[in-house]
Amino acid sequence: MSPEHFSALWLSVKVSVVATALNAVIGIPLAYVMARRRFWGRAAVDVLVTLPLVLPPTVTGYYLIVLLGRRGVLGAPLYAATGWSVAFTWYAAVIAATVMALPLLVRTARVAIESVDQNLERAAFTLGRAEWRTALEVTLPLARNGILAGLVLAFARALGEFGATLMLAGNIPGKTQTLPLSIYTAVQTGEAGQAMTLVAMLTLLSCVVVVASARLGARAL
């Protein structure tokens, strides 16, 4: 395995793990709120979260550039203040993967949370538990299988992310070139053998994820 391949593999794993962690932090509370609360703008949040699932990834990537690029809505003031931009760094790959994976986690976790018997939550309320404690002690533990399944889906999506990553993070070998981008580059430059190796690596990694998630699911039961 060449150092370049190894760095692509390592970057992909790193980006996917961080993106999945971010997904957990943002996505699980979001899924809970979407499942259990009625608030103004709920439908808009739903559309916004789901959009990356249906838009072409390059379009999502384009929006991310508009938002976070050096001349972007948020990116420009950040660049003016610090001289740093998130674009073309591995953080950009994390952000792209996070945004692309979020709808998968939120939708799966939301269904799981909605299927928890609300009388259990009401029982917890009458036994003195505040809503957030009830969520932590009753709702989320009971929705665990669905949430774990959502996290696995999110990880897999992050691992395979291509379009949005290319738009926001670019394709810089050793810096932002993840496995899928590396495969694309190898095919483009006619390095069929290298492409084959990378494809095999990604396939193997995916198999590991599938097996691990099956084990997790079995244990959760």
Partner 1 sequence: MSQQLDVRLVKRLPGFTLDVTWSAGEGVAALFGPSGAGKTLTLQCLSGLLRPDAGRVVVGDRVLFDAAAGINVPPQQRGLGYVFQGYALFPHLTVADNIAFGLRGRPRAEAARRTAEVIERMSLGGLEDRRPHEISGGQRQRVGLGRALAPDPAFLLLDEPLSALDVGLRQSLREELAGILSDWHVAAVLVTHDFQEAYRLGDQIVVYEAGQVIQAAPRSELLWRPASERVAGILGIRNVLRGSVVKASPDRIQLRWRGQILETVNSPLRSYLPEPDSPLAFFIRPEYVRLIRKDRGPADPVHHMNLLSGEIVREADFGTTYALYVRLDNPGRPAQGDYDLEVEVPRLVYEILEIGRDRRWQLSMHRGSIQILPGSTGDESAS
Instruction: Please pick, from the candidates 34, 104, 138, 153, the single residue that binds partner 1 as defined by CB under 8 A.
Output: 138
Instruction: Please pick, from the candidates 119, 190, 193, 219, the single residue that binds partner 1 as defined by CB under 8 A.
Output: 119
Whole-number minimum distance, CB 221 to partner 1, in Å? 12
Both tokens assigned to 42:
């709920």
Q: Does 117 bind partner 1 (CB under 8 A)?
A: yes
Which residue stretch of 25-33, 75-83, 118-126, 157-165 sits at the interface with partner 1 (rule: CB under 8 A)? Answer: 118-126
Q: Does 122 bind partner 1 (CB under 8 A)?
A: yes
Which residue stretch of 1-9, 34-42, 79-87, 135-143 sits at the interface with partner 1 (rule: CB under 8 A)? Answer: 135-143
Residue of 101, 97, 127, 110 lying closest to 32 (CA atoms): 110
Tell me whether residue 129 or residue 175 sits nearer to partner 1 (CB atom). Answer: 129
Pair 57, 133: CB distance under 8 Å: no
Q: Does 142 bind partner 1 (CB under 8 A)?
A: yes
Instruction: Please pick, from the candidates 56, 77, 141, 174, the single residue that binds partner 1 as defined by CB under 8 A.
Output: 141
Which residue stretch of 4-12, 59-67, 115-123, 196-204 sits at the interface with partner 1 (rule: CB under 8 A)? Answer: 115-123
Distance in angstroms (rounded) separating the CA atoms of residues 119 and 200: 49
Both tokens assigned to 21:
């962690």
Both tokens assigned to 142:
């009971």
Q: Does 129 bind partner 1 (CB under 8 A)?
A: yes
Whole-number minimum distance, CB 129 to partner 1, in Å? 7
Whole-number minimum distance, CB 127 to partner 1, in Å? 4
Q: Does 136 bind partner 1 (CB under 8 A)?
A: no
Q: Does 220 bind partner 1 (CB under 8 A)?
A: no
Tell me the number of residues near partner 1 by CB under 8 A.
15
Instruction: Please pick, from the candidates 44, 81, 127, 221, the single residue that binds partner 1 as defined by CB under 8 A.
Output: 127
Distance in angstroms (rounded) separating the CA atoms of residues 6 and 72: 33
Q: Does 125 bind partner 1 (CB under 8 A)?
A: yes
Please report, as ranges, the residues that interact with partner 1 according to CB under 8 A.
Answer: 117, 119-120, 122-130, 138, 141-142
